[in-house]
Structures are given as C-alpha cells and as structure tokens.
Amino acid sequence: MKNRWMKGVVSLVAVVAVLSTACGSDEAAVGTGDCESVDAVSLQLQWVTQAQFAGYYAAVDNGIYGDYCLDVTVIEGGVDIVPQQQLASGAVDFAVSWVPKALVSREQGADIVNVAQVFQRSGTLQVSWADSGIDDPADFAGKIVGNWGWGNEFELLAGARQAGLDPGSDFDLVGQSFDMLALLSREIDAAQAMIYNEYAQILEAVNPATGALYEASDLSVIDWNDVGTAMLQDAIWASGSRLSDPGYQDITTRFVAASLEGWVHCRDNFDDCVDVVLNNGSALGASHQAWQMNEINNLIWPSDGGVGMMDEDLWDQTISVATSERVLKSDPGSGAYTTTYASAAQDTLRAKGIDPTGTMQGSWSPRDIVLNPGGE
C-alpha cells in the first residue's frame, strides 16, 4: 500500500512539474498562440500600402501577430506624415523609417531607437539610358542629373564627391518629380529611382521605337551600394523613453520577432504576399507589386547576420555619409540602435524551425518578374 501511494505522489509531482514547465517557460510560449492577454499595438508605415511593407501586412493577415499575442493596427503613411515624429510624440507604438531621416529627428530631440534593421541594403539607384554612357558617378560631369530633393539626394551627392566632382558646378542638379517622365523625355540625363518602384516604371513603359516595353539592357544603373555611399533605409523604430519599461520591452520583443517572421513569410510565400498587399488596397497594379515584392526581398535577403540584425559596416557608412554631407551634425553614438530585440528574434525563429538568414539551400533566390504595361 505504501508503494502505490508513493507512485501516485511521484506521478502527481511529475505531472505538476511538466505542466509548470509548459506554462512557465518563455521560449516555448512566444509565437505559438496560447495567449493569456493580447496587446494592442500600432505601427506607422513610411509610405502608402505597397510591397515595401508586405511583411507587416502578411503578419497581420496570416495571424502571425496573433501568435505573438499582439493586435497590430498598420497605419499607412503619406506625403504629410513623418513616421518618426508620430512615434516620438506617442501617437503610435512603432514606426518604419529610413535611418538618416530618423537620426535627424533624433538629433532634434525625438527619443527613438532602431530595434531592427529590416532592409540590409539601400534600394536607391541613379538610372540613365545605356547610350548616355553614365556608368559611374564620375560620368556625371557636364550632365543634367535629376534627384527628388527633400533630403533624398545625399547618397548621390556623396557618391559624386567621392568621384572628385563638385555637385552643382561640375554637373547640373535638377529637382524631378517622383516619376520617370523627365528621363523618358530625355530632359535629364540621369534620374533618381527606387529599384523596387520608379525603376520598374520605365520597364512598364512602351518604347516607341520597338513598340514593345523597354528592357533592362536599354538602361544603365548606378547602385550606391556598389559605389559605397549607400545609407541604410527601412528599419523598425521604437520609443526610447518607453524602452525602460519592462512591459514595453516585452511587447517590443514580440513585435520585432513577429514582424521579422512576417518578412520570412513573404520570402517563402511570394504569391500570397503579393495578394496580401493587393487586398490591403495598394494603388499600383499586380505586376508592379510583384516586381516590388521581388526587389524588396532582394534588399532583405540574404541577411547574413540574421534578418533585422544591424550590419555594423553599413551603419558606419551611413553615419559617415550623413555627417560629411551635413545631414547630421555629429555621430549619434551607439545608443541610436540596439540589436537586443533582433537577436532575441533570431533565437525565437530558429526555435520554430525558421531560417532567419535566407542562406539555406532553396531558401531564397530572386525571381524573374514579367512586367505588364503600366504595371497592371
């Protein structure tokens, strides 16, 4: 009789031990659903709905945020919205913003911190016709070089100075609108374009000489990543003051991991993410969004250090260009970004059997996208 009672107690203790392990462990609970409570969170995007932000939309629509016990509202950006200021003022919990612009706000007094560097490379290009012979910044001499102004021109200016040219006197700087019309009409020799957006607009236009769409071979492209004056772009920013609060820290941990998982989803489920973006009301056509999704993936993958992890060399390069072009008055210092949350996210993703770098066999390779006229 004593043996049976002892076995019962041991079993009971074992069951309790197992159960408490299951309920009490953090690693097992994160990202698997099973929520005691759900936190409402808002995210401010930098621009309007498009594949540039597919990861976040996919995380909402596929219940990924839900798995992390978050209820996320994604807020579209636009001309008048400055995401980092929305974040600094407390209107939103997180914001997507390019690094130089966010650092300028930070220098002005906005208390914000980079918690995940999603895009590993800059997507800015300087595009010209192949017959113009502009293959390198040194070729700008004597040409008419377009850019968007409004703070977007500094990779270009730094690249030109690096090639020994004096912008404004060795070549003309002309403000262009956010389209390719001035290049198509050959009014300017080189135009600024995002590889995932305006660049495609040329490939969606009909070449009057051939009657078919323009091809990549018609164009010459300068990539600032290759020139070495590229600056980091889309990153997730959090409120610096709130990061001293454990509750916000916990939310940030989950939000970063879930968002990055959303981006993995868009790497591995291309068509689904294109649909997600279209369903969330993107203004641009289907083939254009497909192009954009592909190019955005190219900017994220491979993430050799892990998705969302800061590439120190690129951070230093960003600061160097920003300070030499007087965008920033001084180096913001190491407090401007943290790898804590992205690092934790790597572990979470790996624990779920997800490849966070995009380097594993068959994990990621760019696609061949066919564009339709007008991007439809």
Residue 284: CB minimum distance to another protein, A: 20
Q: Identify the CA nearest to 48 among candidates 282, 375, 289, 295.
A: 282
Binding status of residue 336 toward another protein by CB under 8 A: no
Given the DSSP bridges, would you call strands 190-194 and 124-129 parallel, antiparallel or unpaired?
antiparallel
Question: In the complex with another protein, which residue's Cβ is closer, 78 or 366?
Answer: 78
Question: In the complex with another protein, which residue's Cβ is closer, 185 or 217?
Answer: 185
Residue 124: CB minimum distance to another protein, A: 16
Residue 325: CB minimum distance to another protein, A: 10
Binding status of residue 185 toward another protein by CB under 8 A: yes
Question: In the complex with another protein, which residue's Cβ is closer, 108 or 279?
Answer: 108
* C-alpha span between 354 and 366 (Å, rounded): 19
Which residues from 158-177 bind another protein, rule CB under 8 A?
Answer: 168, 172-177
Residue 25: CB minimum distance to another protein, A: 46
- Looking at the DSSP bridge assignments, the partners of residue 194 are 124
With contact defined as beta carbons under 8 Å apart, do 139 and 227 qualify? no
Cβ-in-10-Å burial (0-12, 13-18, 19+) of 366 comes to exposed
Question: In the complex with another protein, which residue's Cβ is closer, 103 or 203?
Answer: 103
Token pair in block for residue 81: 């919205």
Binding status of residue 5 toward another protein by CB under 8 A: no
153, 155, 234, 355: which one binds another protein (CB under 8 A): 153
Q: What's the DSSP call for residue 371? A: P
Binding status of residue 81 toward another protein by CB under 8 A: no
356: cis peptide before it, omega within 30°?
no
**346 Cβ contact partners less than 8 Å away, ≥ 6 residues apart:** 306, 307, 309, 356
Residues that bind another protein (CB under 8 A): 104-105, 108-109, 144, 147, 149-151, 153, 168, 172-177, 181-182, 185, 187-188, 327
